[in-house]
Structure 1
Amino acid sequence: MPVTYVLVHGAWHSGQCWSKVVPRLAANGSAVFTPTLTGYGETRHLLSPSTGLGTHTDDVVRLLVEEDLREVVLVGHSYAGMVISGVANEVPERIARLVYLDAMVPEHGESALDALPAARGMLGDGWRVPPPQEPFGLFGLTEPADIAWLRTMVSDQTTRCLTEPVAMDNPALAAIPRTHIHCTPKPEGVEPRPVPAVQPDGEPADVRELVSGHDCMITVPDELSKMLLDVSSAVGAGR
């Protein structure tokens, strides 16, 4: 059954990173939205010290409300695990499932630095956090064409994105099913937070693995799309 996907990119990227996945999901009639968060990609000119997690949460909430999207499979890659958590806290009635795609998985009041302490090494002296000089090292790309394409896309993010805490205090948030997709193998020192055996909604944890570098939407779009289609199969059928 066709569903609505909202795919939220991670730090430094833009909505363009999902270009290989969109047609694969849309082929069965599903609606797919790939917003670019404020300050990235084509909106990089809007980046300022005040741009942060709250800004990006508002970006996605606004999309859901303005497009009147419901029963959404909300996918957050990497840093966007923080974003989709905040969005679900704001508009839980619009979300059918949260998918943490190789993502930060926070608790209420945590920042990205709490969810992934290894990210502390990204901080510098100023408010800008530039993308890595060698994206293939951090994002798991090996093909020269993919690396060149990613270089045209990435841009700075802010320190505030990493330090601003997420609100997850809406009781309705716990009722939303979750799926965790981990890309494997992981670089040394970057381990995902353990997923509890039981989800907040009381269901057994749904944890899946993709053999891929971090940017799986670029490296293995077929496999990722099939997994997302499978994950969404319960939406609209009583979950």
Structure 2
Amino acid sequence: MTTTYVLVHGAWHTGQAWARVVPHLAASGRRVFTPTLTGYGETAHLLGPDVGLGTHTADVVRLLVEEDLRDVVLVGHSYAGLVISAVANQVPERIARLVYLDAMVPTDGENALDVMPATRAMLGDGWRVPPLPELPAPFGLFGVTDPGDVAWVRTMLGDQSLRCLEEPVAMDNPALDAIPRTHIHCTVKPEGFDRRPVPAVQPNGEPADVRELATGHDCMITAPAELAGLLLDVGDRVGAGSLRG
């Protein structure tokens, strides 16, 4: 069985963020999809106050259904941890494993502000939420410090709708709990963006699967080969069926 990956970018980015990871996965015969969510990149003209988590969940569900994708390793970076959670709640039968990549990991009924209260500091008076500013090294722009890479990241950044942060995620489908999870944590991060501890036991009863990358938040840009290696390991185990049994 060929493992299929669907890589979902985080807030302010586009599917182009995965450009350095895709060749590593594809070279091993994997199918890879990197959708750009509504309101970003080529669909920036569609951004409005009504675009939110539900919009982005529908984007990914539509991809899975239209392409008839099954046994998917569904990867969500940062904000997209909420997106993949909501997607798996709607179509759990299509998902082999969830991968939370330095991501927000919600519970039923939470929104992004609940999961990471530090995001409240980014809110202004309107519905647009601009990208985070560049920080001094080693944190840089979303963890990217190389000047050329910073310039490249800037080409894909755009505003996000406030609704993305305020809309709660639905995780009330009992079938969702059966899906195994992997958590990949980037260890270079600024203060104030602490992540929740990962419970020792997953909802399906398996031990927690937590990996680390010694790099900044946008690891798909700063450590693409290392990230791909972790994803290939997860995919290989899914393909062998060992993660479900």
TM-score if structure 1 supplies the norm length?
A: 0.98
Q: Supply the AA of the counterpart residue of 1:18.
A: W
| Greater displacement, 1-10 / 12-21 | 1-10
Q: Distance in 2 between matches of 1:75 and 1:155?
A: 21
Instruction: Map residues 9-28 of structure 1 onto 2, 5 A cutoff.
Output: 9-28=9-28
Structure-2 residue corresponding to 1:34? 34
Instruction: Map residues 71-220 of structure 1 onto 2, 5 A cutoff.
Output: 71-134=71-134, 137-220=140-223
Structure-2 residue corresponding to 1:49? 49
Q: What SS class does the counterpart of residue 182 from structure 1 fall into?
A: strand
Q: What SS class does the counterpart of residue 186 from structure 1 fall into?
A: coil
What do residues 154-210 of structure 1 show as CA deviations (whole Å, max 9, x unaligned)? 000011000000000000000000000000032111111110000001000000100
Structure-2 residue corresponding to 1:236? 239
Q: Supply the AA of the counterpart residue of 2:202.
A: Q
Structure-2 residue corresponding to 1:223? 226
Q: Distance in 2 between matches of 1:133 and 1:234?
A: 38
| Greater displacement, 62-71 / 123-132 | 123-132
Q: Supply the AA of the counterpart residue of 1:31.
A: R
- How many residue pairs get aligned? The number is 239
Q: Following TM superposition, by how much is the alpha carbon of 1:138 offset from its aligned partner in structure 2, in angstroms? A: 4.7
Q: Supply the AA of the counterpart residue of 2:167.
A: E
- Does the 8 Å CA contact 1:77/1:103 hold for their aligned counterparts? yes
List, as ranges, runs of 4+ consecutive aligned residues in structure 1 with deviation greater than 4 Å: none
- Does the 8 Å CA contact 1:182/1:207 hold for their aligned counterparts? yes
Q: Distance in 2 between matches of 1:59 and 1:172?
A: 21
Structure 2 residues without counterparts, runs of 5 or longer? none
Q: What SS class does the counterpart of residue 100 from structure 2 fall into?
A: strand
Q: What SS class does the counterpart of residue 240 from structure 2 fall into?
A: coil
Q: Following TM superposition, by how much is the alpha carbon of 1:109 offset from its aligned partner in structure 2, in angstroms? A: 0.2
Q: Distance in 2 between matches of 1:214 and 1:7?
A: 15
Q: Note if 1:2 corresponds to 2:2.
A: yes
- Does the 8 Å CA contact 1:6/1:74 hold for their aligned counterparts? yes
Q: Distance in 1 between matches of 2:79 and 2:133?
A: 18
Q: Supply the AA of the counterpart residue of 1:36.
A: T
Q: Supply the AA of the counterpart residue of 1:180.
A: H
Structure 1 residues without counterparts, runs of 5 or longer? none
What do residues 47-102 of structure 1 show as CA deviations (whole Å, max 9, x unaligned)? 01000000000000000000000000000000000000000000000000000000
- Does the 8 Å CA contact 2:2/2:239 hold for their aligned counterparts? no
- Does the 8 Å CA contact 1:2/1:28 hold for their aligned counterparts? no
The CA RMSD over aligned residues, in Å, is: 1.1
Tell me the percent identity. 77
Q: What SS class does the counterpart of residue 97 from structure 2 fall into?
A: strand
Q: What SS class does the counterpart of residue 75 from structure 1 fall into?
A: strand
